[in-house]
Every structure is written in C-alpha cells, then in structure tokens.
C-alpha cells in the first residue's frame, strides 16, 4: 500500500511540475517578471520561493530539520533573478533535489518522523504538506500565465468548451484502473 502511495504522489508531482514547465514555456522573459503590484509575486519570484523551499525541505531531509539554517526565506521574495535561464535553473534545481529525495524513499521510511521547524511530521505528512504547497503556487503561476497570454494561452487541461467531448471519450472506454495524470504526463 505504501509503495502505491509513493508512486501516486510521484506522478502527481511530475504532473504539477509539467504544468509549471508548460506555463514557463509559453511566456516571454518579460512576462516571467511581471507583477500586478509591488505586494504581489511574479512567476520568477514564485519559482525562487519554490526552489528555496525544495532545497531546504528535501536536502538531507531524513536527518536534518527541513528549515535549514542557511535558508533565507525572506530573500526568496526579492525579485533579483534577471533572466529566463536563471528562472529555469532554479526551477529545475529545486525539482531535482525534491525528486532525488523522493526516489530514495522505501516503504519503511514513510512512517519515520522528520522535523520542519522542530515540528515532527511523518514522512507521509511531510510529502502531503508539499503536495498542497507546491500545487498552490503552481496554480498561481498558471493563473498569471493565462492572464499574460490572454487568447494565446494554450490550455494545460481540458480546454473551455471541450468538456462534453472529453467526457464522451472517457465514458466510451470500459472501466479500468489508471492514475488521473497518466494522460497528461509527457514522457
């Protein structure tokens, strides 16, 4: 059962990473740095925050607190990245750290206690915490991306006006077990 859980969450994280990837791909460098106002975050800033969180939470996460002494969370919200390449480097570095950590887990690790800011979590709870946190911010990225691209936005899920066709295709197939992300994840 626990390995089923791990496989399921890995697929979900890959799916959400791809939503971010496909959002970033559709945007110009200028659009990645756009902010609605000084209090809001650009996509570049959101990426920088996710990067900082991933490195802090998942570096040596079974043996050290998830809030590392070297992390400067407040600096993650300073808009100091300067290029799309820098944004992509942070994005990919964070996800690599995260997936490397997930891929080392065994069934026995899932009930272990780890700490985030001295608060104990089972590994499952820590994963679930991030399964809420990362998609929250990726949703922000997608929303900003849709606003930036307007009518040129390429849908990342079922396009508007296509739900009936999509559902008809699904119900035309026999019942079967599959992960909801299987059709969306590109290999």
In a domain, 83, yes or no: yes
- Express each pLDDT in 12-31 by its tens digit: 999 999 999 999 999 999 99
User: Which comes out higher in pLDDT, residue 183 or 27?
Assistant: 27
pLDDT at 148 over 80: yes
CATH of the domain at 10: 1.20.120.450
In a domain, 181, yes or no: no
Confidence of residue 163 (pLDDT cuts 50, 70, 90): very high
CA-CA distance, 51 to 17, in Å (whole number)?
A: 12
**Residue 113 backbone phi and psi in degrees, to 5:** -95, 130
Stretch (H or E) spanning 151: none
What range does the domain containing 142 cover?
2-171
In a domain, 187, yes or no: no
In a domain, 52, yes or no: yes
How large is the average pLDDT for residues 137-152? 97
CA-CA distance, 43 to 26, in Å (whole number)?
A: 12
CA-CA distance, 95 to 124, in Å (whole number)?
A: 18
Close Cβ partners of 161 (under 8 Å, ≥ 6 residues apart) = none
In a domain, 184, yes or no: no
Closest-CA residue to 60 (of 94, 101, 113): 101
Share of the chain above pLDDT 90, in %: 83
CA-CA distance, 186 to 9, in Å (whole number)?
A: 16
- Express each pLDDT in 107-134 by its tens digit: 999 999 999 999 999 999 999 999 999 9
HSE-CB at 95 with a 13 A cutoff on CA atoms is 21
In a domain, 183, yes or no: no
Q: Are 141 and 40 in contact (CB under 8 A)?
A: no
In a domain, 177, yes or no: no
pLDDT at 89 over 80: yes
In a domain, 32, yes or no: yes
Domain count, the chain: 1
CA dihedral 174, 176, 180, 182 (to 10 degrees): -90
How large is the average pLDDT for residues 75-97? 97
Token pair 């559709």 is found at 26
């Amino acid at each position: 059962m626990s390995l089923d859980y791990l496989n399921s969450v890995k697929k979900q994280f890959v799916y959400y990473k791809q939503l971010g990837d496909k959002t970033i791909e559709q945007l110009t460098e200028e659009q990645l740095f756009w902010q609605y106002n000084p209090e809001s975050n650009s996509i570049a800033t959101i990426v920088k925050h996710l990067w900082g969180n991933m490195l802090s939470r998942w570096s040596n996460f079974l043996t050290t607190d998830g809030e590392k002494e070297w992390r400067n969370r407040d600096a993650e919200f300073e808009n100091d990245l300067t290029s799309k390449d820098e944004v992509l480097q942070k994005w990919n570095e964070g996800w690599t750290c995260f997936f490397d950590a997930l891929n080392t887990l065994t069934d026995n690790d899932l009930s272990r206690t780890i700490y985030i800011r001295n608060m104990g979590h089972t590994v499952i709870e820590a994963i679930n915490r991030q399964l809420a946190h990362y998609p929250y911010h990726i949703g922000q990225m997608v929303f900003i991306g849709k606003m930036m691209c307007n009518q040129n936005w390429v849908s990342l899920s079922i396009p508007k006006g296509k739900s009936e066709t999509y559902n008809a295709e699904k119900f035309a197939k026999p019942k079967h077990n599959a992960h909801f992300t299987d059709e969306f994840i590109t290999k």
